[in-house]
Structure 1
């Protein structure tokens, strides 16, 4: 039992000894720090402002040390870099102001906040690890944003889509796409704010994002639009200004249309309603086998020219209707009338590649060219066979002002026709397909003759 008592006594003595040593250590530390804590005009050791050591200095000494260095923050330019390009921004441009006094106050307060133990902890941390007080820097937010947005207008580049260019000799050229770039405005503003907190050499890599084009060179090339399939031209009277305007407008609406394999082009869907609100004008149209004024007159010459280009391009004719009367600007059986909401021209892309429809109106001619891909030695011809000529009738109209037996031709008659249209495809000069496209009927136009009235009987008084 005596040994147990002695063991406990030894443990107590050891604990007391450790506590005494710790107490002496704390008193010694306090003794070493106390002069600094009591010296109220000195910044404690280990404190820096904006990376510049001011420990052990008075506020006045620290101010003198920092003023020359902090001036750089308000004057040293900021370099903005993008590859080989660079721009310099003066801090004055964005209204940079360094609040040196705020930094000095924060530095001086280290080791002077809180109770005795808290102050000891602050000073111990400063002495061992150092405490850096960040600079208090402000900028004019509006000037900063204005500068960044102005730079964005210089730096940013819109992406360019790849596009097809048709040369004068009908060669297809792909104009390559190019990537764009967009400046991350918010990120640059944040980086500029952060950079103003440091002095000396200041550089920023501009935060830009790549912007991809909607159509890349490879994507456009994969569509397989490589050569001219077929083209057709018709003439019109440029002096008929309103009709010419309608032709130009309709052609422009179709120009540049691309059809994927299996797509069906609808003339009415693409051109839309022919109304004055959409720019169409009044000109002659064929209605009930007569020429009458109508909005959009001349639009059928657009559909007819496109129809013939499609025939020669060996595209599928899904829907087509001929006029009731022969048309002067194309052979029989080669016309295509349209009427919005009633009669449509539809053309199907029956190839394995995309096809491009190009329209051009110059002076008194309209031309459609269709581009795609097919064997180079392919040729397409269109043949028209007149099956029947239909003689016109004669309509006699009595004119009481004419003498009995007098006859005057008011309108010459015109033949009607029944025709068949064939498409002939040859490969290397050898006919591979002969296809019946249509059988059409055109009404004859009767001759109109005015004749004198019957002779009046004699009367006896």
Structure 2
């Protein structure tokens, strides 16, 4: 709980301390962010169809302060011969609280504010809700190049701080922006139709994949998700989410009645994304990959006799369904087919 004090005319306003608000006689004031207070679930007719597909490569901020309303404090009688101040302490205090809320990391939620009458001024008591982990996931950066790590770290930094209001849809591309050199991204290896090439933003898909899995575990409604042509190695089959600013996006909707905030970090070789909210889910979802078919890669030898070297190690192919289990509810999130990537060996002179 944050206590903001207004010292009256001629005295600065300041934050005093944090203290509980119980046991006081207080005048209630309500605050709501852009989300309009309590969230409202989108009806079935308003929901978009989930877009899911594959791509040939392998690689909106809600918030801001709302309006604070209050019954003005009773005016303090002015001494004889002295003109009354036109601006009431409560009005100045409301402006201070509104500025404070607009800059807060937990903005966009609904929480109570209380104005207290004090000797020589007024104080606002703001009850700030504690955040809980709604869903979290991490992936390994081992084996990734420095440029891939740079791009993953940079895109993660663009995600941090995004707040998703109740019923709102989050877009990865809209939040992160283009993966261009002008925005700090580097060329890094991506797999295009089985061949490794350098392209801008290689490695960003690991960030989108990590976010996708955190969203699944947080109970988010997946609106759009696309898988890579070949299954990446840093996540179980069927759990990847490819992105490209040209139109391949990751989008999901917040079904909860409270805002959800994205945070993340890179610690050593782990990239982690967490979704925070007012409360943890009563039943935490479990996400399971069920592989129904496995396709082994074939080996192709290029050239004639001589010393051989492997140009492409190949990859196993899968057919896999991803199921999200929440209590007694089972939801098929996706069904994907990844072809096998053939192993290529080059033969040449000794």
Q: TM-score, normalised by structure 1?
A: 0.49
- 2:109 corresponding residue in structure 1: 220
The alignment status of 1:232 with 2:137, answered yes or no, reads yes
What CA RMSD, in Å, does the superposition of the two structures yield over aligned residues?
3.7
The CA deviation at 1:294 is 1.0
For 1:224 and 1:424, locate their aligned partners in 2 and report how far apart those are by CA, in whole Å: 28
- 1:421 corresponding residue in structure 2: 322
After superposition, what is the alpha-carbon deviation per residue over 1:256-284, rounded to whole angstroms, capped at 9, x for unaligned?
11111221111111111111111111111
Q: What is the aligned counterpart of 2:205 among 300, 315, 340?
A: 300
- 1:337 corresponding residue in structure 2: 242
- 2:3 corresponding residue in structure 1: none
The CA deviation at 1:377 is 3.5
Q: Any unmatched runs of 5+ in structure 2? A: 1-6, 16-30, 34-65, 69-83, 112-127
Q: What is the aligned counterpart of 2:282 among 377, 387, 390?
A: 377
Check conservation: 2:322, 2:332, Cα contact below 8 A: yes
The CA deviation at 1:372 is 2.6
- 2:252 corresponding residue in structure 1: 347
The CA deviation at 1:452 is 7.4
The alignment status of 1:291 with 2:196, answered yes or no, reads yes
Q: How many residues align?
A: 257
The CA deviation at 1:239 is 7.8
For 1:279 and 1:410, locate their aligned partners in 2 and report how far apart those are by CA, in whole Å: 31
Give the strand-richer structure, 1 or 2: 2
For 1:219 and 1:278, locate their aligned partners in 2 and report how far apart those are by CA, in whole Å: 28
The CA deviation at 1:226 is 4.3
- 2:217 corresponding residue in structure 1: 312
The CA deviation at 1:237 is 4.2
- 1:123 corresponding residue in structure 2: none
After superposition, what is the alpha-carbon deviation per residue over 1:67-121, rounded to whole angstroms, capped at 9, x for unaligned?
xxxxxxxxxxxxxxx75978xxxxxxxxxxxxxxxxxxxxxxxxxxxxxxxxxxx
Q: TM-score, normalised by structure 2?
A: 0.63
For 1:407 and 1:249, locate their aligned partners in 2 and report how far apart those are by CA, in whole Å: 39
For 2:291 and 2:333, locate their aligned partners in 1 and report how far apart those are by CA, in whole Å: 14
Give the secondary structure class of the aligned counterpart of 2:285: strand
Instruction: Show the 5 A alignment for 1:144-293.
Output: 210=92, 211-212=95-96, 213-214=98-99, 215=101, 220-222=109-111, 226-237=131-142, 240-293=145-198
The CA deviation at 1:245 is 2.0
Check conservation: 1:224, 1:372, Cα contact below 8 A: no
Structure-2 change in CA distance of 1:250 and 1:411 (3 Å): closer
Check conservation: 2:32, 2:110, Cα contact below 8 A: no
For 1:347 and 1:356, locate their aligned partners in 2 and report how far apart those are by CA, in whole Å: 13
After superposition, what is the alpha-carbon deviation per residue over 1:277-300, rounded to whole angstroms, capped at 9, x for unaligned?
111111112222322111111111
Check conservation: 2:323, 2:331, Cα contact below 8 A: yes
Structure-2 change in CA distance of 1:256 and 1:286 (3 Å): same
Check conservation: 2:108, 2:163, Cα contact below 8 A: no
